[in-house]
A and B are shown apart, each in its own frame.
Chain A
Amino acid sequence: MTPDLLLKIELLSNPNVLSVVRGAVERLAEMVGFAPPESRSIVRAVDEALSNVMRHCYCGRLDQPIELYFRRLRRRSKGARKEGLEVLLCDRGPAVDQAKLRGHTPGKLRPGGLGLHFIRQAMDAVEYERVGRTNRLRLVKYLPPAKAHPEQ
Chain B
Amino acid sequence: MQISIRRVGNATIFDVSGDIDLANSPEVREALLHEVRENRRPRVVLNLCDVRYIDSSGVASLVESLKASRDIGSRFILFGLQGPAREVLQLSRLLKVFEIYDTEIEALES
Contacts and interface: CB of A to CB of B under 8 A. Distances in A.
Interface in A10-35: 15-16, 18-19, 22
B16 to A, nearest CB: 15
Interface in A109-131: 109-115, 117-118, 121
Interface in A36-73: 40, 44, 47-48, 51, 54-55
B67 A109 contact: yes
A7 B21 CA distance: 23
A15 B23 contact: yes
A47 B57 CA distance: 11
A107 interface: yes
A107 B93 contact: yes
A110 B23 contact: no
B105 interface: no
Interface string B55-66: 111011101101
A114 B53 contact: no
Nearest to A37: B87
Interface residues of B, number: 23
A106 interface: yes
B19 A118 contact: no
Interface residues of A, number: 24
Contacts of B56: 48, 51, 113-115, 117-118
A106 to B, nearest CB: 4
Nearest to B21: A18
A100 to B, nearest CB: 14
A15 B67 contact: no
A89 to B, nearest CB: 15
Contacts of B63: 109-111
B8 interface: no
Contacts of A121: 91
Interface of B: 19, 21-23, 53, 55-57, 59-61, 63-64, 66-67, 84, 87-88, 91-94, 97
9 closest A-B pairs by beta carbon, nearest first, are A111-B60, A107-B93, A15-B23, A114-B56, A115-B56, A15-B22, A106-B93, A51-B22, A111-B63
